[in-house]
Amino acid sequence: MVNLIELTEQQIAIIRRIPLFRGISDKMRENLLCELDYFLTPLKKGEIIITQGSPCNHMHILLAGKLDVNIIDASGNNIKIEDIIAPRAFATPHLFDGNSIFPATFTVVEDGLLFRATKESAFRLISCEPEMLRNFLRMTGNCNACTVSRLRILSYKSLRSRIAFYLFDYHRQAGDTITISHNQTQLAEYLNVTRPGLAREIKSMVDEGLITISGKEVVILNIQKLMQSL
């Protein structure tokens, strides 16, 4: 493909560092871009670059910017899945699954730059580099685990149970004192609730002695009672 935008040395370095290409041979790393049939697309805030159900025919790497990922469920509800912040490859597992379709809609939140390589060239590359195949399988497993966790949160009906599951997920990895990834506005979107409702419920949990919270740092004071919310 003809590229109207050329990669900078910094962008090339970013591509070589993404998890899919981690641990590959020096020779493969040097020849990486020669092996891929790719093109670059500038992204503008507010633009929908991928719609749910559309075919996934390219490997995607967000080199700059930020994307919002949402799905429409069976009831017609718009549910936020995650934010994708550059630099990051995304939707890679869907490239070679049975349907090869995007399960979500991707909207540009911050201007950026998208690297896309054809499915065929990505397959050739992964097929001839064992370490890349291992990375791909690892990413697929992580993506599936993330999706299961996200859907399980949304399966809880009450706001408190969603908060409790979210915090318990962190607790299993870090103990009673945790640093969450989202501020309250982002967390409300992630839990698919209103921000005022979230703020009220968090205040109630603090007043009841379940947690303390300061910014993104949360201390779980009563894990047993918190688990009763699930």
Can you give the pLDDT at residue 149? 74
Q: Strand locations in the chain, DSSP E?
A: 38-43, 48-50, 58-72, 78-85, 88-90, 105-118, 177-179, 211-214, 217-220
Overall average pLDDT of the 131-149 stretch: 80
Based on the fold, state whether residues 195 and 110 are members of the same structural domain. Answer: no
Based on the fold, state whether residues 18 and 129 are members of the same structural domain. Answer: yes
Q: What residues make up the domain containing 187?
A: 159-227
Overall average pLDDT of the 3-10 stretch: 81
Residue 51 lies inside a defined structural domain of this protein: yes
**Which residue in 79, 104, 75 sits closest to 90, CA to CA?**
104
Based on the fold, state whether residues 126 and 187 are members of the same structural domain. Answer: no
Residue 148 lies inside a defined structural domain of this protein: no
Can you give the pLDDT at residue 144? 66
Based on the fold, state whether residues 173 and 119 are members of the same structural domain. Answer: no
The 10s digit of each residue's pLDDT in 185-224 is 989 988 889 999 999 999 999 999 999 999 999 999 999 9
Contact 146, 154 (CB under 8 A): no
Based on the fold, state whether residues 43 and 130 are members of the same structural domain. Answer: yes
Based on the fold, state whether residues 102 and 166 are members of the same structural domain. Answer: no
Residue 4 lies inside a defined structural domain of this protein: no
Domain boundary residue, one of 79, 107, 142: 142
Confidence tier at 2 by pLDDT (50, 70, 90): very low
Q: Which residues pair with 85 in a beta bridge?
A: 66
Confidence tier at 60 by pLDDT (50, 70, 90): very high
Query: Which range is most confident: 95-99, 127-131, 168-172, 201-205?
Result: 201-205
Overall average pLDDT of the 47-69 stretch: 95
Based on the fold, state whether residues 41 and 136 are members of the same structural domain. Answer: yes
Higher pLDDT, 74 or 96: 96
Residue 165 lies inside a defined structural domain of this protein: yes
Scanning the structure block, which residue is given the tokens 């703020």?
199
| CATH code of the domain in which 92 resides | 2.60.120.10
Based on the fold, state whether residues 170 and 81 are members of the same structural domain. Answer: no
Q: Which residues pair with 166 in a beta bridge?
A: none
Residue 209 lies inside a defined structural domain of this protein: yes
SS3 46: coil
Based on the fold, state whether residues 24 and 136 are members of the same structural domain. Answer: yes
Higher pLDDT, 99 or 4: 99
Can you give the pLDDT at residue 131? 92
Based on the fold, state whether residues 132 and 208 are members of the same structural domain. Answer: no
Q: For the chain, what percent of residues have pLDDT higher than 90?
A: 56
Residue type for 46, please? G
Residue 3 lies inside a defined structural domain of this protein: no
**What domain count does the chain have?**
2
Residue 1 lies inside a defined structural domain of this protein: no
Overall average pLDDT of the 92-97 stretch: 84
Domain boundary residue, one of 108, 142, 176: 142
**Which residue in 19, 8, 49, 40 sits closest to 113, CA to CA?**
40
Cα distance between residue 52 and residue 160, in whole Å: 29
Based on the fold, state whether residues 106 and 174 are members of the same structural domain. Answer: no
Tokens of 195: 């921000």
Overall average pLDDT of the 132-157 stretch: 80
Based on the fold, state whether residues 15 and 127 are members of the same structural domain. Answer: yes
| CATH code of the domain in which 185 resides | 1.10.10.10
Residue 147 lies inside a defined structural domain of this protein: no
> Does the pLDDT at position 94 exceed 90?
no
